[in-house]
């Protein structure tokens, strides 16, 4: 008999991926959300998944075998309250995934404050290139695949291991449910200020993840991060391979270590032995480090380094990662997901290395929960130092963006209205400029609006 799940909060990237995987696995899948609109709605409908807008209690008439609750749903939601009142079966997305599909898989989990989506995409592509046919669930769309999630009969499953909380009833990080055999710890900084009080609280969650990796597994860890050294020093029962040069003042970890590094000419080495050269078109030191992590994890799954390097030569990156949205009158417009000061800094620096002396116009929407709270506002001027001009959209912010960016003087322009922001950018843009738009949301469709304005279209 076909099992039926009803997903609350189905239009988020993660829950939408679970919906697609469940459908591929033979489940009947229905779902609801507050905002049912493209592109996620069309992707789900293409899978034959019935979508309902809103949280009407009449959805209980569907009589599913169980409800899968996304972390967007909180107490007070009318549908959730009725599920609880009637004692109907429910679980979280990560728990459903772990219990239903991951139990018999070799899970390769990619955790970290930055680079999870890109590194998971690299890793999935390396395994695909090596004919291992991995399943995956990634918080973006790897352009080598064109989809964000799939299930296969392969034992390998790559998952973006997010530290955000699981559900209204489970405040542990999502990644504690996945029990990876191969775990990448890419980096660790303070983020998600809406749910974590400080960096130490996030380190505790990463420690919980490390505790779940078996002794026969592998932890691939950024050797530059003091925060990750603290995580491992709290206890690690698994072999560790580090990537990136270790911090000079860092204490030695009482775990087995191997060192992955990459030199200025993109030569990749392991334990001081050259493995080959990374030849690709991606920008930025952060992506070079992402590549090392992916190569190490793939090697643990049986892919030789040379084959991993050959795969990365054909890697097409992820949508919304320095993606060129268009060119008009000699002006290039990029879209990037960067929304944390560290990610903003590495993204702008990567573009600077690519374009040399050309002008970079950074267009920023501080949209993440952490940024909206203003926790990182004082770090913004330094993160934008490689841009020639910065344009910040301050709509719906709870803090004074003009004051925060005041150290940048005339190099920063702040607008509360999106149309005014577009006009301000268009007024100064000239041939040869590189316009870098950064947001973790849709930013009101600014990319097409800006391209049209630059082309003189209404």
Residue whose C-alpha is closest to residue 152's, from 169, 137, 163: 137
* Domain with residues 323-454, CATH architecture: Alpha-Beta Complex (3.90)
Q: Kindly report which listed range (20-34, 188-202, 378-392) carries the lowest average pLDDT score.
A: 188-202
Through-space distance between the first and last CA atoms of the chain, rounded to whole angstroms: 55
Residue whose C-alpha is closest to residue 193's, from 341, 371, 339, 382: 371
**CA-to-CA separations, 158 to 123, 126, 137, 178, 260, in angstroms, rounded:** 7, 11, 6, 10, 21
**3-state SS string for the chain:** CCCEEEEECCCCHHHHHHHHHHHHCCCEEEEEECCCCCCHHHHHHHCCCEEEECCCHHHHHHCCCEEEECCCCCCCCHHHHHHHHCCCCEEEHHHHHHHHHHCCCEEEEEECCCCHHHHHHHHHHHHHHCCCCCEEECCCCECCCCCCEECCCCCEEEEECCCCEEECCEEEEHHHHCCCCEEEECCCCCCCCCCCCCHHHHHHHHHHHHHCCCCCCEEEEECCCHHHHHHHHCCCCCCEEEECCCCCCCCCCCCCCCEEEECCCCEEEECCEEEEECCCCCCCHHHHHHHHHHHHHHHHCCCCHHHHHHHHCCCCCECCCCEEEEEECCEEEEEECCCCHHHHHHHHHHHHHHHCCCCEEEEECCCCHHHHCCCCHHHHHHHCCCCCEEEEECCCCCCCHHHHCHHHHHHEEEECCHHHHHHHHHHHCCCCCEEEEECCCCHHHHHHHHHHHHCCCC
Residue 254 has pLDDT above 50, yes or no: no
> What number is the average pLDDT over the span 147-168?
94
- Computed on alpha carbons and rounded to an integer, the radius of gyration of the chain in Å comes to 22
Q: Hunting for tokens 């890109």 — which residue is that?
A: 118
What's residue 252's pLDDT? Answer: 42
- The Cα 205–Cα 203 span in angstroms is 5
- Report residue 70 as tokens: 């996304």
CATH superfamily for domain 4-93: NAD(P)-binding Rossmann-like Domain (3.40.50.720)
Task: Report pLDDT digits (tens) over 20-35.
Answer: 999 999 999 999 999 7
Residue 182 has pLDDT above 50, yes or no: yes
Mean pLDDT of the chain: 89
> What number is the average pLDDT over the span 135-157?
92
Asked whether 419 and 393 are in contact (CB, 8 A), the reply is no
Residue ranges, comma separated, of all CATH 3.40.1190.10 domains in the chain are 104-312
Q: Kindly report which listed range (101-110, 203-212, 257-266) carries the lowest average pLDDT score.
A: 257-266
Which residues make Cβ contacts (< 8 Å) with residue 385, sequence separation at least 6?
Answer: 345, 348
> What number is the average pLDDT over the span 55-82?
96
Q: What percentage of the chain carries pLDDT values higher than 70?
A: 93
- The Cα 190–Cα 435 span in angstroms is 28
- Report residue 197 as tokens: 């009080």
Q: pLDDT category, 373, cuts 50, 70, 90?
A: low
Residue whose C-alpha is closest to residue 293's, from 353, 240, 237: 240
Q: How many CB atoms lie within 10 A of CB 307?
A: 18
> What number is the average pLDDT over the span 204-215?
96
Q: Hunting for tokens 């591929």 — which residue is that?
A: 24
Burial label, 96 (beta-carbon count in 10 A; 0-12, 13-18, 19+): buried
Task: Report pLDDT digits (tens) over 258-303.
Answer: 589 988 888 899 888 889 999 988 877 888 999 999 999 999 999 9
CATH label, 104-312, candidates 3.40.1190.10, 3.40.50.300, 3.90.226.10, 3.40.50.11540: 3.40.1190.10
What's residue 192's pLDDT? Answer: 65
Residue whose C-alpha is closest to residue 147's, from 163, 156, 134: 134
User: Strand 434-438 and strand 331-336: pairing?
Assistant: parallel
Q: Which of 121-125, 268-272, 413-417 has the highest mean pLDDT?
A: 121-125
What's residue 113's pLDDT? Answer: 87
What's residue 250's pLDDT? Answer: 42
Residue ranges, comma separated, of all CATH 3.40.50.720 domains in the chain are 4-93
- Report residue 15 as tokens: 């829950």
Residue 257 has pLDDT above 50, yes or no: no
Residue 441 has pLDDT above 90, yes or no: no
Phi, psi of 5 (to 5 degrees): -115, 145
Residue ranges, comma separated, of all CATH 3.90.190.20 domains in the chain are 323-454
């Amino acid at each position: 008999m076909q099992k039926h799940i009803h997903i609350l909060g189905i239009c988020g990237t993660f829950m939408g991926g679970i919906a697609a995987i469940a459908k591929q696995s033979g489940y009947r899948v229905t779902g609801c959300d507050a905002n049912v609109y493209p592109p996620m709605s069309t992707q789900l409908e293409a899978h034959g998944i019935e979508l309902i807008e809103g949280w009407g209690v009449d959805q209980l008439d569907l009589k599913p075998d169980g409800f899968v609750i996304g972390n967007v749903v909180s107490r007070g939601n009318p549908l959730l309250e009725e599920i609880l009142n009637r004692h109907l079966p429910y679980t979280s997305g990560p728990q459903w995934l772990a219990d239903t599909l991951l139990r018999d898989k070799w899970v390769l989990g990619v955790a970290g404050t930055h680079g999870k989506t890109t590194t998971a995409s690299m890793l999935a592509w390396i395994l695909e290139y090596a004919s291992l046919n991995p399943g995956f669930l990634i918080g973006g769309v790897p352009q080598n695949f064109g989809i964000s999630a799939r299930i296969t009969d392969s034992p390998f499953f790559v998952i973006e291991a997010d530290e955000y909380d699981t559900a209204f009833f489970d405040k542990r990080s999502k990644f504690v449910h996945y029990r990876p055999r191969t775990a990448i710890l890419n980096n660790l900084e303070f983020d998600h200020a809406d749910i974590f009080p400080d960096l130490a609280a996030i380190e505790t969650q990463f420690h919980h993840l490390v505790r779940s990796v078996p002794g026969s597994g592998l932890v691939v860890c950024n050797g530059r991060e003091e925060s990750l050294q603290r995580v491992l020093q709290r206890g690690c029962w698994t072999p560790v391979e580090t990537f990136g040069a270790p911090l000079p003042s860092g204490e030695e970890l009482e775990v087995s270590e191997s060192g992955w590094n990459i030199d200025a000419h993109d030569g990749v080495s392991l334990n001081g032995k050259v493995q080959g050269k990374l030849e690709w078109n991606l920008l930025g030191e952060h992506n070079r480090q992402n590549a090392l992590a992916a190569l190490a994890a793939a090697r643990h799954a049986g892919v030789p380094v040379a084959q991993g390097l050959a795969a990365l030569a054909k890697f097409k990156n992820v949508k919304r990662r320095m993606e060129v949205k268009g060119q008009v009158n000699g002006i290039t417009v990029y879209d990037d997901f960067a929304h944390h000061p560290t990610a903003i800094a590495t993204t702008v620096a990567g573009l600077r290395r690519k374009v040399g002396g050309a002008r970079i116009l950074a267009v920023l929407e501080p949209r993440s929960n952490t940024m909206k709270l203003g926790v990182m506002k004082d770090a913004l001027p330094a993160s934008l130092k490689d841009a020639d001009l910065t344009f910040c959209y301050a709509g719906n912010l709870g803090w004074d963006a003009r004051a925060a960016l005041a150290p940048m003087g005339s190099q920063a322009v702040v607008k509360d209205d999106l149309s005014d922001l577009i006009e301000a950018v268009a007024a100064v843009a000239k041939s040869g400029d590189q316009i870098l738009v950064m947001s973790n949301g849709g930013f009101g469709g600014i990319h097409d609006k800006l391209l049209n304005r630059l082309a003189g279209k209404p």
